[in-house]
């Protein structure tokens, strides 16, 4: 049974919750809502009536976006976002002071007595501080993407939507612009912003992400590994290579295949790679989420959102010119 996510596509709080679910390789029942006609089922489990709301299979309800992010990354955090520094102060600033100014700048007519330009100036002062952090370090908390980056970028996107010309032409925000563009150009952004009609009990039932499916646990998975990488994994105790030349931390998951996909994968990426091994994996024994995600062609490939424990590898054999070993 999958968790149930009540969400609203454009809400930045819901966006960051969905981003964490994508990062963690999780699949949920997706219930997109209409803000003016919130479903009774959502209000029953969460009377506050705001999104996101995540209902876990055991009935526990998570009602705040940051709590959803923490829950998701507790299941799997392949890029180690939670370990990249203390994000609490930046998130508190974003969710408090910056959101206050963002709302009054973007929706000034809803706040009688507030001056739009004053709100703009106050919000820009915070953005300039964030810009300097990124210019100095690459990301908000250092050299790597962190929970702070994942939690803040939907709100910076909202600011840009409120003033695209001003944001895009402000040379003092250059680092922040490139940082935001990194998220907007990430292939996951399109998946994050997939559309669905408002949910109803009798209507179509969607998953999020909509272009993914669960991985059956009774069918073996396969992974192509360079011999040197597999030897290093045996020495360290776990395998952390996503695909040829790329680590789990860089990509966010380990590429896998079903048996019928192995030959084409080898021919596309490994024909000149030297000695290549075929790892047969028992999906029931891995301890990180598995999700089959669609590549641009629409074909689904299984992905492991965490390290591959050696005990999950049933057999290791050598590929010979792309031919799958008979015993695989």
CATH of the domain at 283: 3.20.170.20
pLDDT at 206 (0 to 100): 94
pLDDT at 274 (0 to 100): 87
Which range marks the domain in which residue 277 is found? 212-318
Q: Show which of 171, 194, 210 is a domain's final residue.
A: 210
pLDDT above 70 coverage of the chain, percent: 98
Q: What angle do CA 17, 293, 312 make, to 5 degrees?
A: 100
Residue 165 lies in a domain: yes
145 and 43 in a single domain? The answer is yes
188 and 133 in a single domain? The answer is yes
Query: Residue 228 burial (CB < 10 Å; 0-12/13-18/19+)?
Result: exposed
pLDDT at 321 (0 to 100): 67
Number of structural domains, the chain? 2
Whether the CB-CB separation of 308 and 295 falls below 8 Å is answered with no
Instruction: Give the residue among 188, 102, 114, 116 at the shortest CA–CA distance from 145.
Output: 188
Give the separation between CA 130 and CA 22, rounded to whole angstroms.
Answer: 25
pLDDT at 320 (0 to 100): 79
Task: Give the three-class secondary structure for 235.
Answer: helix
pLDDT at 182 (0 to 100): 97
Q: Show which of 169, 184, 210 is a domain's final residue.
A: 210
178 and 104 in a single domain? The answer is yes
Residue 110 sits in a domain whose CATH number is 1.20.1050.130
Sorted by sequence, the CB contacts under 8 Å of residue 202 that are 6+ apart come out as none
pLDDT at 323 (0 to 100): 67
Cα diameter, the chain: 76
> Taking the model in full, what pTM does it have?
0.94
Q: Show which of 156, 181, 210 is a domain's final residue.
A: 210
139 and 193 in a single domain? The answer is yes
Q: Within the chain, which residues score under 50 in pLDDT?
A: none
205 and 235 in a single domain? The answer is no
Residue 325 lies in a domain: no
């Amino acid at each position: 049974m999958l968790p149930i996510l009540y969400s609203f596509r454009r809400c930045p709080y819901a966006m960051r919750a969905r981003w964490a679910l994508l990062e963690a390789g999780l699949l949920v029942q997706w219930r997109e809502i209409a803000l003016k006609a919130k479903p009774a089922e959502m209000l029953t489990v969460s009377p506050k009536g705001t999104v996101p709301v995540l209902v876990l299979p055991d009935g526990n309800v998570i009602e705040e976006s940051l709590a959803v992010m923490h829950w998701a990354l507790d299941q799997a955090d392949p890029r180690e976002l939670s370990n990249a520094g203390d994000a609490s102060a930046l998130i508190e600033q974003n969710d408090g002071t910056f959101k206050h100014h963002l709302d009054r700048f973007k929706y000034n007519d809803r706040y009688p007595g507030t001056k739009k330009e004053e709100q703009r100036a106050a919000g820009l002062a915070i953005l300039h501080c964030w810009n300097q952090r990124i210019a100095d370090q690459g990301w908000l908390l250092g050299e790597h993407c962190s929970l702070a980056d994942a939690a803040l970028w939907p709100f910076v996107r909202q600011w840009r939507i409120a003033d695209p010309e001003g944001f895009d032409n402000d040379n003092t925000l250059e680092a922040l612009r490139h940082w935001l563009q990194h998220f907007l150009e990430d292939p996951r952004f399109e998946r994050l912003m997939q559309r669905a009609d408002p949910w109803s009990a009798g209507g179509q039932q969607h998953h999020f992400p909509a272009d993914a499916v669960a991985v059956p646990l009774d069918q073996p998975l396969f992974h192509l590994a360079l011999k040197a990488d597999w030897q290093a994994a045996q020495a360290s105790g776990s395998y952390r290579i996503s695909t040829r030349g790329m680590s789990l931390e860089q990509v966010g998951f380990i590429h896998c295949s079903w048996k019928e996909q192995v030959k084409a994968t080898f021919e596309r990426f490994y024909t000149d790679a030297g000695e290549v091994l075929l790892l047969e994996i028992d999906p029931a024994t891995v301890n990180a989420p598995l999700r089959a995600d669609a590549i641009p062609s629409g074909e689904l490939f299984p992905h492991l959102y965490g390290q591959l424990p050696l005990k999950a590898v049933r057999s290791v054999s050598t590929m010979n010119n792309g031919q799958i070993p008979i015993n695989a």
